[in-house]
Each structure stands twice: as C-alpha cells, then as structure tokens.
Amino acid sequence: MSRPAETPGWLQQRVDLLAERIGVDPRRRWRDWLTALLFRTRRARQRRDLRNETLETILGGIGWLLGLPLRLFERLIDRVSYGPIGAGLERWSARPAFTGPLTSVLVLIGAALLLALWATTPLSLGQQAGVFVVTWLATLFVRRIPGKLPTLLMIAFSLLATSRYVWWRVSETLPLDGATIEWLLGFGLLLAESYAWTILLLGYIQNAWPLDRPVAKLPDDPSRWPTVDVYIPTYNEPLSVVKTSVLAALSMDWPREKLNVYLLDDGNRDSFRDFAAEAGARYLRRADNRHAKAGNLNHALARTDGELIAIFDCDHVPVRSFLQTTVGWLLRDPKCALVQTPHHFFSADPFERNLATRGEIPNEGNLFYGLVQDGNDLWNATFFCGSCAVIRRTALLEVGGIATETVTEDAHTALKIHRRGWTSAYLRVTQAAGLATESLSAHIGQRIRWARGMAQIFRIDNPLFGRGLKLVQRLCYANAMLHFFYGLPRLVFLTAPLAYLLFELHVIRAESLMLVAFALPHLVQASLVNSRMQGRYRHSFWAEAYESVLAWYIALPTTMALLRPSSGEFNVTVKGGLVEERHFDWQIAAPYLVLIALNTLGLAMAVPRLLYWNAFETGTVVINALWSIANVAMMGTALGVAAEARQVRRAHRVPLSVPATLYLPGGRVVACQTLDYSASGLGLTLPEGLQLASGSHVHVGLVRGDREHAFPARVALSMSGRIGLQFEALSLEAEQRLIECTFGRADAWVDNDRGKPQDQPLSSLRTVLRYGLRGYGEAVSGLVVTWRARRARQRSARI
Amino acid sequence: MFVVDFDPANALGMAIGAGPHPLRGIGTGMARGEDWSDTALSTADGLTLLPFGEIEAGECVALEQALLQRPTALADQLARIAMPKEAVLLIDTPRRPSVLADAACRAADGVLDVLTLAPQSQAGLARPPEAANRVWLLNQFDATSPLHVDLRALYVQQLGDRLAPHAVHRDEAVAEALAADRPVLDYLAASQAVRDLQALARWLVTPARAAA
C-alpha cells in the first residue's frame, strides 16, 4: 500500500496492527496486501493453519445437517448395553459343537453355496434397496458389540453386499457390443474393481483375527540364553546417526560374553572403524558392495557365529529390553526362525509433518505394524521387515542367507524361510525406534523400492505357487505383494468418471439408480468393516488419501518389475536430511495437478450435460460428477502433502517425563522433571521460583535402574518454569550412558503400543475432506511464493 | 513421630528446628539419674524431640560405663515413653565405634547406617553385613563425580536391597539451611536432598520393610 506521508497517526497505528496480524510488511504495495488478506500466507507459514475458514464452515455445516438423522438414530441405539451381548456371544461360540476341523469345512462349504445362491438371485430395484437397508441397520447394531465374533458377522454382511454387486456388475453392466473404446474402458474399470475386490477379500482373511501374541519369558538361568550377533549395516549415513544405534545395541540387557555388536560398513570409512573400536563394537567392511544391504549382511553372516542374529537399520535405536523381549519365542519354539517387532518412528513422516496430523491420525505404517503383521501371525505368515527383528542363524543359512534376487530382500528371505517349514512370530511391542523419511520425495522413493521389490517377488517366487506353504500363508503373502499394485487401479478410479463427463462414454451399462442400489451397499458395508477392524491403526478414507499421493509414482515401477523383474537397481532411502525451507514441491505435485485439472474439466462439462446435452440421463451425470468431486477432494490431500513444511530441528525431540537432578553452579542440587529429549539436548521443567540464565553451565543427572549418571550441559533456552539444555562435549562412555537413560529405556515407546483413538467413519470423512480443502489453499499460497521468487530472480538478473 | 538425640554433640535440635542446645535431656538424665520426661521439645512440624542435654566429659564417661554394664539401660528408659502403637522413634547416635551408638542399636528394631561417600568409608564395608536388621544409606552423593558413581555401584553390588535405593545428594542447600537455622524442607523444597530424604522415609516405612 503506497500511502501518503500525511496519514494520521491513529490510522497508521491501525494499519500497522492489521499488517502485523496478517503478516504483511505495511510498506508493501496493494497487491501484497490483497494476497495476504486473501490467503494469509505469512502467518500461516508460522502457524500452519492456512484454511479457507468460511468454506470449511459452510461445508462442515452441510455435512452436519446431512448426518443429523443418522446421529439421532445412533443416539437411540446407544442406549442398549452391548458388553453383555458380546460376552454371551463369546460363550456361545466356544461350545464344542462349533469347533473341530470337520465342522469348519462343512460350514465353509455351506456358506459358499449359500453365498453363491444369494449373489445370483435377481431382485428388483426396490428389493435390492430394501435388503441393503435391512443389513445396514443390522450392522449398526452389530458394530457396537465388542469382541471378534461380531467382526466376523460384519464381514459376512459385507460379503453379502459385495457378492451381489460383483455378480450384477459382471453379468449385467459390461458394454459387450463389440471391441469399441467403451468396451476397452469398461473392461479396464472392471479389472481395477476386481483388484479392489480381491484386496478387500484378502484383507478380511488376513486381518479378521489378530493374534496379539504375548511376550515369552526367558529361562531364569542366563547360561541357557543363546549367543546373539547384532548386525547394523550402514552405507552412507553420517556417524552421528549410526553412533546412537550402535551404542544402544551395546547397552542391551544380555550377558556380555553372549552379545556381539557388528557395525557392517559398506562405506569403508575409517572414522567408523575407529568409533567401533572405541565403543567396543566389532567392525566389518568388504571389498565390493555387491547386492547392497543383503550382500553386506551375508558377508557378515559368513564371518560370525552367534546362534541368533538381530538386525537393525543403522538409524533404528533398540531399547535395552529388546533381546529379552524377543528371544523368548525363539527358545520356546525350536522351529521358530524369526521374531519381528514394529518399526516406530520418533520423527514425523512427510504426511504427518506436512498435514500436521501426528499423534491424532494413525500414520501410514500403523496399519501394517498394528494390525496386518498381527493378523499374519495367526497364520504363521509374519514376515521380516529388514530391521528390529531376530533371526535364527540355522534357518537363515538353510535358505542361503539373505535373499539377493530382489530389492526387498527382507520379505523374500522370510518367504524362503517359511517355505522350509520354519515358523515366525510377531510381537506388537515397540522395542526400537528410528527416523522417518524426511521429505515426500524420499518417502516416495522408499515406497517405490518396496513396491518394486514386492512385484519382483510376486513374479520370480510367487507365494501362491511353489512348495512348502499353507493355503492361508499363501494368501497373506499374496496380499502383502498385491497390495503394492494399487497404483494402476487407483489411477483408473481417479480418471474413470472422465470417460463419461468428457466423452460421453458409458463404461458401466446400467441405470444410475441400479448402480447406486448395488454399489452403495458394497462400499458402505466394506467401509464399516474396515473401520472396525482397522479403526485404531488406520482411519477411514486415509487409505484412499495415502494411495492417491503414491499411485502415480508406484504404478510404473510395479508394472515394469512385473514385466522385467531383473531390471533396475537398489536405491538407498535417504534419511537424516532436513527440509530447510518451507516450499511447495511442484515437481512431485505435477501428476496431482494434471489429475485435478482433468477432473475439474469434467466437472465443468457436467453442467451443460446436466442442463442440455444429457438432460435425459441426469442420474448418470450426477453420479459421475460426485465421483469427480470425490477425486478432486482426495487429490487436495495430496497437494497438502506436497507442501513441504520446514523442519525446525535436526535432532527430533521425544517426550519423556521422569525425575532428573540438576546440579547448579555453586553446589545447589535441584530436583526437576524432564519434558523431552533428543540426541543432543534435554528439556526440563524447573521448580517454582528457580531462574537460570541462558548460557549457564550445569550438570543434569538421569537415573537408570539404581544408577544415576550426570551429564555436563549448557542452558540453551530459558523460559519461565522450563529450560532447554544442550549437552556439552560428552565422552563416548557418557554418550552411551545418555542413550541408556533416554532412547534405550525399556519404556521409551510404550505410548506407541496403545494405538490411536478408534475411528469414526463419518468424522474421518470430514477430516479427510478438510485436509483436501486445505491442500488447495497450500497450493495457491505455494503458487504465490513461487511466483514471487521467480519475479525476484528476474529482477536481480536484470540488475 | 519421636526423635531421640543420643549424641553428646547435642546438635539435632538445630537441624530439625527445635532450637539450639537444650541444657537437659535424656543423656544428662541418664547420667545423673534424674527424670528426663519433662525435657521433650516439640517442633513446628509436630515432631517430639528428646534432646541429649549439655553434658560434661566426666559425666559422659560415667554414662558409657553404666551402659557397658547394663546394655539394656537405654531400652528400659525408652520403654517409659508412652507412644501410640504405630509411632516411629528415631535415635540419632554418634559415629561408631561408640558405646552410646551400640546401646542405641541394641534398643532399636532396625539400624540405618549412614555411609558418607569418602574414600575411608569404603573400609568400613570390608566387614560383612552383620545383624539382619541393619540397612545402609549413602549420603553426600554427587553423580558428577565418577568416583561417587563407581562407589555407589560397588555398594549396590555388596549390599543389594539392604542399601536404600535413594542416595542422599550432597546439596549446598542443606548447609545453607543449617546456617540459616531453618528446616531444609522450608528452606528449599525443590532441593534434591529433600526429595531424597522424603523417598528414604517412604522406603523405611514400607510395610514389607517394617515387617522385616
């Protein structure tokens, strides 16, 4: 705003105040004021609360009104006490008449026959709708009953709905009048849907009955505990990252003479060798880097002799109880070859950071480590995830060491071990933690590698065939691999409505109302079941959001790996970096923008279709338009993730509340409480009345068991009631003690095992849509920032 | 809660806020054969203190000889105190070896031996733990001293669960409070030493320990 010099004081004051609130320099021109007023970019950059508040409120209000009748009904049925019903159901099902293999087989055959009969019975539109309303209402009751049996009942209802939809879709809706473009697209959509149905069914089998295995106790006599080699492979990670893991591994509770920690350095770095020698770890390196991580591990396998092998990625920090927690099962069951524990990340992954969902919404990995692996475990199909696991040497040697044929050597090794008749165990107890991928591009790179590797295994050592596996084991493995093929189907769903909206192609030959009457029950029931089964580990509609972000990037590598499994090389996931500047990653977002543009164009076309061109089939236009709107909303979330938030600290803080002792200069010693810690610092709450100047040198004592260790530190930050300490040059021994008192605490990650709040499908839908809306805000403000930067560059180039 | 100062230094009164150097007390009473029941003092915290009293060297030797002849003399005297059943009576004694301290040990249900962290205190531990009712406490602990940390680990190893789990930290606030003639709890509630003493008290009166 260019203002005349004679602006009165009071007005100037107001202007300055407003400028400060919306975060614009008051001397800037009117254009900056306008963008700031419209998008509030500066302030949002600090607080991350950029949102189109008015729009959000209006849409939220509409959603609230639409959901009102349902909520009133649910309030009514919530008056029933469901606990006793669940308990009664458990008792009833435990009767001997219902158990035994013969009963199971008979029931299974009977159910399959009935389901086939049910799915193929023709019903009129009204009858089909009526059946749906009845099962849906029944489900609303059933989902309130606690226990695993009601889940099975809900799965049954879902199968009823889906089977009818599948039969109807295949038998009545395909465009079968010759090899036209419609025929091609129609079959493409059917294939994508078939994929979704398969994954849904496999998911039900895999997740219906999580095992929830307890920890097996070790013998009291430590002389009967096996010898353990710990492998920590590294390639190009900095020593500061690797150090923590090695020191924590050395501090694990295990008889000294039975624990050997090996730092496997593929980077041939002398500093690593010296560190290992000083810390008391062994150091191995090799002449070449063949087969990357798998080759590195195999190299060590040939040069060590521990009965068990614990493997940690070099940025995964184990807690002291890791071995005592995991080894029990390997002793109890001599056929057990593998014990896997969850991968937990104490830094936010790109989704959590860029959407600011950490702690509120389960992240991408929660579903796998919270539910899928636990479900696999029931069927003895838990697989190795490359880190935070213990493997029996004899089993590993029997399959020729870590598999080298694919880029996901971990899963493939586990598959080979299972084929040999070994068993596996999954313990859903977080016993290690590490860093999440730092940026979205690195995250996508990692997922591409996983997807490619799984596709490679599917091609060269397909779990559905070959020797040694039980049927459900095959299905669990198949699902784990097929899961990564979501790329193409997701892209099909994201573009499907365009066939009609842009080109008036009828890829589904059906009356719009019939489509609703068949598809809606399938979608609603499936979503209700998944919400119940996965609720604490994946909230409804987040799978769609995560997939929308990754689909484009994963589609090609998986397809290529299927066609030519041997192509491509191993890429290392980059960790420990820092997103220096908040920016919008246009390169990553390009495919999202294309998909959004196409769907928006489709929506624009929907208007004339609805009013003039296709006024005779309004239902079809409306359905396709709604589908496009859903796509646009999902892609908004993807845009939100592409807006990279700046990372403030390299050292990530972990909350911790334990007593600490503060040794002040002058001899006073004060009792405090810790707030959080990182590898380099500690946050403390101070007792009332105590003030400490920044820069003071103190010691801080932390307790581990019956020992207290004091660490020299400097007050880096002093606020009322709390201080931030920065540790001063610590000796290697002190560093090890520090890790024992922080990352290595047995209870360091217990909060992670409690899971997140149970999902509520409708409120989760609202949340996802809200994030979608914000994504667009982020993109627009990103556009402004990029445009400004470019203009500034041009200007400076001119000078 | 009753506290008996059975140390001729007569300093406990100051430390717990009952005023300095009372002239008469249980020590002078026993040495002179006087009644000491009227010498009890009360502190602001509701403690009842039996002071030792200002005693002369000759009287002290006589008291020690009397105790040598009749080791249960102190126990008999203390039995005269009308205490509720759940009350706890603490006796502060001089550093051992000492006749007074031995007499107090004999009268007590349990003995808390204070190890001040200094190189010479390690010598005292060379002897194996004696009576089963004896527990140890580390005093003047300072985790910034590697020697203290190592010594503490050694004591833990030797004494196991007979070492109080909370060492009392060396804290300047304690000395400052004594100098200011104020109970350390009032002086600086956030002092680590205060926290340690509170934890020690809880540990001493845990039911399992009381039963033993």
Residues A391, A311 contacting (CB under 8 angstroms): yes
Q: Is the Cα torsion angle A331, A336, A337, A342 positive or negative in sign?
A: negative
Write the DSSP assignment of A593-614 as a string of letters. Answer: HHHHHHHHHHHHHHHHIIIIIT
Q: How far apart are the first and last CA of chain A?
A: 25
Q: Which residues of A touch B144 (CB under 8 A)?
A: 663, 699, 701, 710, 712
Among chain B residues, the shortest Cα distance to A665 is held by B172
Q: How many residues does chain B have?
A: 212
ipTM of the complex: 0.86
Letter string b/e over residues A443-455, b meaning 16 or more CB atoms within 10 A of that residue's CB: bbbbbbbbbbbbb
Q: Is B150 on the interface with A (CB under 8 A)?
A: no
User: Tens digits of per-residue pLDDT, A320-347?
Assistant: 999 999 999 999 999 999 999 999 998 8
A669–B171 CB contact, under 8 Å: yes
Among chain B residues, the shortest Cα distance to A700 is held by B144
B173–A668 CB contact, under 8 Å: yes
Alpha carbons within 13 A on the beta-carbon side of A161:
31
B192–A699 CB contact, under 8 Å: no
Across the strands, what pairs with A723?
A684, A718
List, as ranges, residues 122-141 from B with C-beta within 8 Å of A: 141
Q: Is the Cα torsion angle A158, A163, A166, A172 positive or negative in sign?
A: negative
Q: Which of A32, A229, A265, A266 is catalytic?
A: A266
- pLDDT score of A42: 40
Helices A618-642 + A586-608 axis angle, to 10: 160
Å between A217 CA and nearest CA of chain B: 24
Among chain A residues, the shortest Cα distance to B177 is held by A668
DSSP 8-class letter at A705: T
B144–A668 CB contact, under 8 Å: no
A410 included as an active-site residue? yes
Q: Is A1 on the interface with B (CB under 8 A)?
A: no
List, as ranges, residues 177-196 from B with C-beta within 8 Å of A: 188-195
Nearest alpha-carbon partner for A24 in A42, A10, A47:
A42
Q: Note the pTM of the prediction, 2 decimals.
A: 0.84
- pLDDT score of A515: 92
Where do we find the tokens 């806020």? B17
A751 included as an active-site residue? no
B171–A666 CB contact, under 8 Å: no
Nearest to A671 among B152, B156, B195 (CB): B195
Nearest to B172 among A667, A687, A688 (CB): A667
Number of Cβ pairs < 8 A linking chain A and chain B: 63
DSSP 8-class letter at A99: -
Percent of chain A surpassing pLDDT 70: 90
- Give the 3-state secondary structure of residue A659: strand
Helices A181-207 + A487-503 axis angle, to 10: 140
Q: Is A690 on the interface with B (CB under 8 A)?
A: yes
Among chain B residues, the shortest Cα distance to A705 is held by B165
For A169, A500, A630, A672, B128, the CA distances from A504, given in Å and listed in that order, are 20, 4, 19, 70, 96
Given a cut of 70, the residues of chain A with pLDDT beneath it are: 1-53, 97-99, 567-582, 646-651, 755, 799
Interface test with A, best of B141, B171, B176 (most A CBs within 10 A): B171
Q: Which of A32, A374, A410, A759 is catalytic?
A: A410
Q: Is A703 on the interface with B (CB under 8 A)?
A: no
DSSP 8-class letter at A371: I
For A229, A294, A295, the CA distances from A409, given in Å and listed in that order, are 19, 6, 10
Nearest alpha-carbon partner for B53 in B25, B31, B78, B29:
B25
Q: Which residues of B touch A669 (CB under 8 A)?
A: 142, 169-173, 191-193
CA-CA distance, A345 to A316, in Å (whole number)?
A: 9
- pLDDT score of A4: 44
Å between B52 CA and nearest CA of chain A: 31
B169–A687 CB contact, under 8 Å: no
Q: Which residues of B touch A712 (CB under 8 A)?
A: 144
Nearest to B169 among A661, A687, A707 (CB): A661
Evaluate if residue B56 carries a pLDDT over 60.
yes
Residues A635, A592 contacting (CB under 8 angstroms): yes
CA-CA distance, A14 to A24, in Å (whole number)?
A: 13
Where do we find the tokens 């602990």? B141
Residues B166, B199 contacting (CB under 8 angstroms): yes
Among chain B residues, the shortest Cα distance to A698 is held by B144
Alpha carbons within 13 A on the beta-carbon side of A180:
11
Nearest to A706 among B143, B156, B189 (CB): B156
A708–B143 CB contact, under 8 Å: yes
